[in-house]
Amino acid sequence: MPRPAAKKSSPPATYREAYAVLARIAGELENGEADLDRVLPLIQEAQAAYEVCRERIEALQEALGERQEPAEDEEEEEDDEAE
């Protein structure tokens, strides 16, 4: 049974909450639980959660003094996706 459309809510406040949102959405999409009308709202919700995760990771990297450049593996993945 498809889930009802999610209410507009604020993005997750923590990395853990955002990661849980991403995991839930991935599971829903992988299992074919989301009907076509629900895909766009799920993608928008996932984008907001991803942004929270990315910001937290970047802040941690900055605090630890790590470089902000993408790792070689990420660069290779981006190159593969562009082809």
| Per-residue pLDDT reduced to its tens digit, 33-80 | 778 888 999 999 999 999 999 999 999 999 998 765 665 666 666 666
- Give a yes or no: residue 2 inside a domain: no
The DSSP annotation for 26-68 comes to HHHHHTT-S-HHHHHHHHHHHHHHHHHHHHHHHHHHHHHT---
How many folded domains does the chain comprise? 1
CA distance 68 to 80: 21
Confidence of residue 1 (pLDDT cuts 50, 70, 90): very low
- Give a yes or no: residue 53 inside a domain: yes
- Give a yes or no: residue 7 inside a domain: no
Residue 8 has pLDDT above 70, yes or no: no
- Give a yes or no: residue 73 inside a domain: yes
Q: Which residue has the higher pLDDT, 76 or 12?
A: 12
CA distance 83 to 76: 11
